[in-house]
Structure 1
Amino acid sequence: MKFTILDDHREVAVDAQLSDDGSVLMPISEVPAALGWERKPQGWCRGDICIPARVAEGVERDGGLVDLAAFAALVDRPYAAVPDRGVAAVGASAAERASALAEGEAPDFELRDLEGTAHRLSDLHGRKVALVFWASWCGCRYDLPEWERQHSALSPEGFSVVSVAIDRRPGDAAPWIREAAATHPALIDADGTVADRYQVLNVPTVVWIDERGRIARPNDTQFATDLFRSLSGLDSARAMAALRRWVRTDDSGLTADDVAAHAPQVTAAHQQARTEAALALWLHRAGHPVEAAEHFAEAERLAPEDVTIWRGSMPLLGTDPMGDEYFKRREALTDAGIPIYRPLPDWQGTPGE
């Protein structure tokens, strides 16, 4: 049967079969294209990394087949599947995500704007960048015009805003981008690929990236206006003053050690939740809402602190993301000691600098 594998948000079609116990079995010959590993005499290899054949014995089956779930476990990657629907998701491991962020390089990516034009983060090397994650279901949507003003005002000084809407339906973000008359790259991360790479747990989240493509200030809750200051308790004037100071003087308010210390923490539960959410999104788009809701619920159970997953799924599931259900869940997180907003240490200096 034809089977769809979601490999870290990349969709690959393979030939596979189901065993009597419901395991997904795929030909060894299909693994390199689907998952990037190749069977060699010494074992399973990807680049210079090899897992010895004796260690990998449990993943191979008679007839030149591989048990997909067992293989994912072997290479330390989260796995979720609905075999009867012909789909399985294999996410990125916590170690892989944590290692990439700990190195301090801003993960590169390519996303499209409303017109379908592709933009790469690396195209902006040589300029400072504020990578602004937002969504139509967040009050931060009203900040987009102010981010555009910051982009226009500071662009001559070697600065760019790149906004990334994490809406699962691009049409939800479109009116807000058009209303802001965005001239900056206003991109849409409908599959959650970039939010995963940067470990975004809620919006707004802003990451500052320097001219060399290195993270100068990691995931930070920053508002560009005070419209929702009563909820967030955050001062937008201080944030925008600090942004201008960084652009003009290179002072990000954090040392290199601070940047490393405040890199997002990645756990296996986070990555399993993101894998469940990726599977749920595929199921929803394929017209299987019941199964989609089940996997969104599992993702929320695994990582309730990841607001982007459960609040981001609300529009798909027919729940108002700004209604009573949202505030009920928000209150539950607060009661459990789980922060909604995650601002970094206070800015150095004072507003107006």
Structure 2
Amino acid sequence: MITLLADGGETGIEGPVVPHGATILGWERKPHGWCRGEACVPSYRAAAAETAEGVDLAAFAELLGRQVVADPEEGVIAVGEPAGLTESGEAPRFEELERLRGTKVALVFWASWCGCRYDLPAWEELHRELAGYGFSVLSVSLDRDPQDAREWLDGVTHPTVIDADGRIAELYNVINVPTVVWVDEEGRIARPQDTMTATDTFRSMNGLSSERAVAALRRWVIDGEAGTAARELRAPTADERRARLHARVAAWLLRAGRTDAAERHLTAAAALAPHDLAIRRGLMPLRGVDPFGEEYFALREELEAAGIAIYRPLPDWQEDPS
């Protein structure tokens, strides 16, 4: 039996070749091809994944534009989200965001392993202050252990979600926290993934002005002015997408106590996306490593020496050099 990690869940399958007649990743075989709703992969293309024994899961996923990381020895396969999941400018959909359609939303990505956890009360205040203008905060925790996030959500009234499998971070190409995305009433990107703070608690480290950022947010909510930022998310590279799948497998293995196997996948992820702190720092708690300790600061030094920015805000949110 193999565990399939896909679409935000875990499924047991008999092997990497799926028997004929089975539904695969939500797709069903029809006479003219594989279909999911109105979308279909025609038979002549699907033939590349079909064998006499069944359908090769990895080959089928690749037909859908989805990357695969498999560890046959450990009995686990992870399938990523499709490349180009949405139309240009459309915010990738997930359940909690869909409930807020018709409302302006600030998607606030945070984690208990980041100092940005101390910004949550300020985000809660903005949520309450601007609710009358048709606005909501939706905070997304990147904690791999949901319990780590829950203690920081006590008393919060805005919608929240814990992205323990990293799927939402994958959809929005989030490589560190705090990251914020603005989504308009029609479910389109008003401002892409930027480093944004709601307080100046760590301004000496990140050089960001929360006053500028929050003022810009208020202008967008009240006056509809989103500024000159791009209206599309920065797309991940193929290596970044594959790194996230290695991280998903590593998290699954760590929860199962298979530390050595998990470290192999963490090493692979770090080689593919050395800048992705959501992976490299985010998995430290599952490894029993202090995310505020020596290993984290060594990682910061490594990235700084390589000229890799830890915080990636647009210029209008950075500290005024004057």
Same-fold status (TM-score > 0.5)? yes
Q: Quick check: 2:255–2:286 contact (8 Å CA) kept in 1?
A: no
Aligned pair partner of 1:194 in 168, 188, 193: 168
Aligned to 1:156: 132
The yes-or-no answer on 1:90 pairing with 2:79 is yes
Q: How many pairs does the alignment contain? A: 318
The yes-or-no answer on 1:220 pairing with 2:194 is yes
Aligned to 1:5: 4
Secondary structure of 1:207 counterpart: strand
Secondary structure of 2:130 counterpart: helix
Q: Quick check: 2:104–2:185 contact (8 Å CA) kept in 1?
A: yes
Q: Quick check: 2:163–2:169 contact (8 Å CA) kept in 1?
A: yes
Q: CA deviation at 1:284?
A: 2.0
Counterpart Cα distance in 2 of 1:159 and 1:44: 40
Secondary structure of 1:84 counterpart: coil
Q: Quick check: 1:132–1:162 contact (8 Å CA) kept in 2?
A: yes
Q: CA deviation at 1:28?
A: 2.6
Aligned pair partner of 1:143 in 105, 115, 119: 119
The yes-or-no answer on 1:78 pairing with 2:62 is no
Q: Which digits, 9 at most, give the CA deviation of each residue in 1:248-300, with x for residues without a partner?
A: 11111126xx323xx21221111111111111222222332221222122112
Counterpart Cα distance in 1 of 2:99 and 2:211: 29
Counterpart Cα distance in 1 of 2:104 and 2:265: 38
Q: Quick check: 1:253–1:347 contact (8 Å CA) kept in 2?
A: no
Secondary structure of 2:282 counterpart: helix
Aligned to 1:311: 281
Aligned to 1:36: 26
TM-score, structure 1 as length reference: 0.83
Secondary structure of 2:99 counterpart: helix
Counterpart Cα distance in 2 of 1:68 and 1:327: 40
Aligned pair partner of 1:50 in 34, 41, 52: 41
Q: Quick check: 1:217–1:252 contact (8 Å CA) kept in 2?
A: yes
Q: Quick check: 1:60–1:66 contact (8 Å CA) kept in 2?
A: yes
Question: What is the identity, as a one-letter code, of the residue corresponding to 2:170?
Answer: D
Q: Quick check: 1:12–1:34 contact (8 Å CA) kept in 2?
A: no
Counterpart Cα distance in 1 of 2:185 and 2:39: 31
Structure 1 residues 34 and 48: alpha-carbon distance in aligned structure 2, compared to 1, 3 A threshold: closer
Q: CA deviation at 1:44?
A: 4.8
Question: What is the identity, as a one-letter code, of the residue corresponding to 1:108?
Answer: R
Counterpart Cα distance in 1 of 2:147 and 2:207: 30
Aligned to 2:98: 122
Aligned to 1:270: 240
Counterpart Cα distance in 1 of 2:10 and 2:252: 10
TM-score, structure 2 as length reference: 0.90
Aligned to 2:214: 240
Structure 1 residues 184 and 38: alpha-carbon distance in aligned structure 2, compared to 1, 3 A threshold: closer
Q: Quick check: 2:81–2:171 contact (8 Å CA) kept in 1?
A: no
Aligned to 1:173: 149
Secondary structure of 2:284 counterpart: helix
Q: Which digits, 9 at most, give the CA deviation of each residue in 1:21-49, with x for residues without a partner?
A: xxx3321323xx23234445555555443
Q: CA deviation at 1:224?
A: 0.8
* Structure 1 spans left out of the alignment, 5+ residues: 17-23, 111-119
The yes-or-no answer on 1:108 pairing with 2:108 is no
Counterpart Cα distance in 2 of 1:61 and 1:210: 45
Secondary structure of 1:136 counterpart: coil
Aligned to 1:117: none
Aligned to 1:60: 50
Counterpart Cα distance in 1 of 2:32 and 2:94: 34
Q: Which digits, 9 at most, give the CA deviation of each residue in 1:311-352, with x for residues without a partner?
A: 11001111111112111111211222221111123169x9xx
Structure 1 residues 123 and 67: alpha-carbon distance in aligned structure 2, compared to 1, 3 A threshold: closer
Q: Quick check: 2:89–2:188 contact (8 Å CA) kept in 1?
A: yes
Question: What is the identity, as a one-letter code, of the residue corresponding to 1:124?
Answer: L
Question: What is the identity, as a one-letter code, of the residue corresponding to 2:12?
Answer: A
Structure 1 residues 236 and 347: alpha-carbon distance in aligned structure 2, compared to 1, 3 A threshold: closer
Q: Quick check: 2:210–2:317 contact (8 Å CA) kept in 1?
A: no
Q: Quick check: 2:107–2:182 contact (8 Å CA) kept in 1?
A: yes
Counterpart Cα distance in 1 of 2:97 and 2:47: 41
Structure 1 residues 154 and 166: alpha-carbon distance in aligned structure 2, compared to 1, 3 A threshold: same
Q: CA deviation at 1:237?
A: 0.7
Structure 1 residues 67 and 126: alpha-carbon distance in aligned structure 2, compared to 1, 3 A threshold: closer
* Structure 2 spans left out of the alignment, 5+ residues: none
The yes-or-no answer on 1:27 pairing with 2:3 is no
Aligned to 1:254: 228
Secondary structure of 1:89 counterpart: strand
Q: CA deviation at 1:303?
A: 1.1
Question: What is the identity, as a one-letter code, of the residue corresponding to 1:69?
Answer: A
Aligned to 1:116: none
Name whichever structure is richer in helix by fraction: 1
Name which of structure 1's ranges 317-326 and 67-76 shifts more when overlaid on structure 2.
67-76
RMSD: 2.3
